[in-house]
Structure 1
Amino acid sequence: MSSPTIRLGLRDWDHLVPLMSGRVQVPGFQVEIDARDVTPDVLAEPGLDGGETSFSRYVRARAAGDDRLVGLPAFVMRGFRHRCVLVRADSPLRSFGRLAGARVGLTGWPDSGNTWTRALIRAAGVDLSGIEWRVGPLAAGEVGKERLGDRPLPPNVSAMAEGESLVGELAAGRLDAILTPFMPPEFFTPDSRFRHLLDDHPAAERAYWAATGFVPGIHLVTLKKEVVEAHPELPAALLAGLEASKRHWLDRRRLLADTTPWLLHSLTESAEVFGADWMPYGTENNAAMTRAFCEELYAQGIAPEPIDPAVVFPLPLAAVAAA
């Protein structure tokens, strides 16, 4: 009897490559991964059994009673947000506290990453309602993304006009800063017009880790409810496969570290700071981060009511590497 085929829509994160290539298997299932350029809308695609999903979108749906997706505590995208605030190269702004009363653009209002970034600004004592927020694409011509969410926007939040972009408005001086999870191409050139707000964002991120014990989760893997009901053993098996893929990837990166000039240094430093795993899977391993995110969604008005973290992961899964 052949194993059930499970089709997932995921972006090609390097730690997923062992699973995508077949080097790592999920016992009992034939997992097919459809590599995507952008995050899929899992529920909108009948051909998908699951895939990569925005943490914010998932949590808000679960909190509203929508249980059509079952999340695995496997965050395929996570990262510190201190690096995600850009200003002009000649800007006098060099701290989150200086953003009080500023004009700030961002790529999406309810987005997971931007929620975490606003949390940093809020923690610096800045009243978010005093900032003039503009929501729009990083670069002109970007389409196909829901940027405003499904709730009424606060009065200090507005959408950018057709043809405008965060990069263009920042360069022109009509914005003081922008929040973006991805750097514009020119950021990697010596004469970039932009820089990070923080002069030493790695130091700030290390301090954040010391204070919280987690790296913020942005996207997670979800499965459709009917797929889980048909295959109740799938969530644990898939989580084990994701864990095995991540471990295999890390072992290979440590062996084949000559893919960037300083990758070995980065891997060594990460092990020193974070220990064995900076992106742990499992419900308990992510409990503090999940609780903090739920609190922040409500504090920022993204969620209309407080969210019980217990609704986020209905299956108490632990990360155990597949044999």
Structure 2
Amino acid sequence: MKLQLSIGMPRNPRSAPIFDGLVAPEGIDLVPTPVHPSELFWRQLRFADFDVSEMSMSSLMMTVARGDDRWVGLPIFTTRRFFHTEILVRRDAGIASPEDLRGRRVGVPEYQQTAALWTRGVLQHEFGVLPQEMEFWMERNPAHSHAGAVGFRPPAGVTIHQIPYEKSIGSMLLSGELEATLLYITDRNLVDRSRADLSDHPDIRPLFPDIAAEGARYFRKTGLFPINHGMIVRREILERHPWVALNLLKAFDAANAIADRQRMEHADYHLRAGLVPDSYRAVLAAPIVRHGIAANRRVLETAALYSHEQGLTPRPMRIEELFAASTLDQ
């Protein structure tokens, strides 16, 4: 069986073996197309361009909640990060802590995107800052946004302005029209338009001075490693060929194992060279990412809770509604 596949670029080492053909799902001939995730999700939600692809977990929950049954989720989780550590602020805005974001003008590429969902959830549950207490400015316009593709409307009590097309999050941060942004994307694609390099700009800094320390603090406290993107497959394909779901999951598990071996080879080099204390060996050897429902249920249920709390879905979506039935006990 030949299936059109798209995985967001730049390539993730945990899915690269699939994309490169090093690992092939049994009985499936994948035809890969590289597309930036921002553009990929818009294309899938609006045009359904690919048979199998990455998908924003937030958008998947929203489409299912709205009765769009074109897609079935696969518990293959290609990207995850501590997204709240990526908040940027203007140095002159007087924002010294997350609590200082109340009443501020805050940029966001896409209000419904999963990175923004997690960041708002952390701001609410860790620091007591509600989405209703910030003024959001969204960069993606209705014709080229995930929101436009699913008919999203701002939740009650939440202020979302549209950034004019001639401006961007980057330009508005530099001019002082925005005081912060939840996320900043400069990669060229059809939906994002910020281009200014803010990484070392004298007027801009991360909200959290020590990003790694904040990520470690959050993980130690909550045990959550937020999931951003999963995989989806056309429902019509699974209805005709139910075996496709588990064969794809098995292949991505094999690709993940390759990435883990490569990571440990890199870690072993540093351990042998004395660049990393040997006491870290057990920590480094522990799996970082695992696919499947069992290893990720709590993270998925937390994302579903945040989606409902933030008015993106009318209720917390159940895992059984989102993923292929054959994968639920994996």
TM-score range, shorter chain: 0.7 to 0.9
| Structure-2 residue corresponding to 1:284 | 294
For 1:114, the aligned partner's letter is: A
Structure 2 residue 185 is matched with structure 1 residue 174: no
Structure 2 residue 130 is matched with structure 1 residue 130: no
| Structure-2 residue corresponding to 1:14 | 13
TM-score, with normalisation over the residues of structure 2? 0.82
User: In 1, are the aligned partners of 2:61 and 2:313 still within 8 Å (CA)?
Assistant: no
User: In 2, are the aligned partners of 1:13 and 1:76 still within 8 Å (CA)?
Assistant: yes
Pick the structure with more helix per residue. 2
Seen in structure 2, the aligned counterparts of structure 1 residues 171 and 203 have a Cα distance that, compared at 3 Å, is same
Seen in structure 2, the aligned counterparts of structure 1 residues 265 and 72 have a Cα distance that, compared at 3 Å, is farther
| Structure-1 residue corresponding to 2:30 | 31
| Structure-1 residue corresponding to 2:222 | 212
| Structure-2 residue corresponding to 1:313 | 323
User: In 1, are the aligned partners of 2:26 and 2:247 still within 8 Å (CA)?
Assistant: yes
CA RMSD across the alignment: 3.0
Find the residue that maps to 1:72 and give its secondary structure: strand
Deviation at residue 278 of structure 1 after TM alignment: 2.1
Find the residue that maps to 1:110 and give its secondary structure: coil
Seen in structure 2, the aligned counterparts of structure 1 residues 18 and 152 have a Cα distance that, compared at 3 Å, is closer
Deviation at residue 230 of structure 1 after TM alignment: 1.8
Find the residue that maps to 1:229 and give its secondary structure: helix
Seen in structure 2, the aligned counterparts of structure 1 residues 285 and 88 have a Cα distance that, compared at 3 Å, is same
Seen in structure 2, the aligned counterparts of structure 1 residues 99 and 86 have a Cα distance that, compared at 3 Å, is same
Alignment of 1:295-314 (within 5 A): 295-314=305-324
**Cα distance in 1, alignment partners of residues 151 and 281 from structure 2:** 40
Deviation at residue 223 of structure 1 after TM alignment: 0.3
The worse-fitting range, judged by mean Cα deviation, of 205-214 and 79-88 is 205-214
Find the residue that maps to 1:240 and give its secondary structure: helix
The worse-fitting range, judged by mean Cα deviation, of 98-107 and 310-319 is 310-319
**Cα distance in 2, alignment partners of residues 292 and 55 from structure 1:** 12
- Which of the numbers 180, 198, 204 marks the counterpart of 1:187? 198
Seen in structure 2, the aligned counterparts of structure 1 residues 86 and 188 have a Cα distance that, compared at 3 Å, is closer
| Structure-1 residue corresponding to 2:210 | 200
Deviation at residue 178 of structure 1 after TM alignment: 0.6
Find the residue that maps to 1:31 and give its secondary structure: strand
**Alignment gaps of 5+ in structure 2:** 187-194, 268-273
User: In 2, are the aligned partners of 1:284 and 1:316 still within 8 Å (CA)?
Assistant: no
- CA deviations over 1:252-271 (Å, ceiling 9, x no partner): 344367xxxxxx979x9997
Seen in structure 2, the aligned counterparts of structure 1 residues 316 and 285 have a Cα distance that, compared at 3 Å, is farther
| Structure-1 residue corresponding to 2:152 | 151
Query: Structure 1: which 4+ aligned runs deviate by more than 6 Å?
Result: 268-271
Seen in structure 2, the aligned counterparts of structure 1 residues 236 and 57 have a Cα distance that, compared at 3 Å, is same
User: In 1, are the aligned partners of 2:84 and 2:118 still within 8 Å (CA)?
Assistant: no
Structure 2 residue 250 is matched with structure 1 residue 240: yes
TM-score, with normalisation over the residues of structure 1? 0.83
Alignment of 1:212-231 (within 5 A): 212-231=222-241
Deviation at residue 307 of structure 1 after TM alignment: 2.9
Seen in structure 2, the aligned counterparts of structure 1 residues 265 and 29 have a Cα distance that, compared at 3 Å, is farther
User: In 2, are the aligned partners of 1:82 and 1:204 still within 8 Å (CA)?
Assistant: no
| Structure-1 residue corresponding to 2:82 | 80
The worse-fitting range, judged by mean Cα deviation, of 127-136 and 51-60 is 127-136
Seen in structure 2, the aligned counterparts of structure 1 residues 254 and 63 have a Cα distance that, compared at 3 Å, is same
Structure 2 residue 37 is matched with structure 1 residue 52: no
The worse-fitting range, judged by mean Cα deviation, of 40-49 and 118-127 is 40-49
Seen in structure 2, the aligned counterparts of structure 1 residues 306 and 14 have a Cα distance that, compared at 3 Å, is closer
Seen in structure 2, the aligned counterparts of structure 1 residues 201 and 84 have a Cα distance that, compared at 3 Å, is same
Find the residue that maps to 1:87 and give its secondary structure: strand
Amino-acid identity (%): 24
- CA deviations over 1:257-306 (Å, ceiling 9, x no partner): 7xxxxxx979x999765863222100121111111111111111122334
Deviation at residue 90 of structure 1 after TM alignment: 4.4
For 2:317, the aligned partner's letter is: I
User: In 2, are the aligned partners of 1:99 and 1:126 still within 8 Å (CA)?
Assistant: yes
**Cα distance in 2, alignment partners of residues 205 and 270 from structure 1:** 18
Find the residue that maps to 1:284 and give its secondary structure: coil
| Structure-2 residue corresponding to 1:103 | 105
| Structure-2 residue corresponding to 1:261 | none
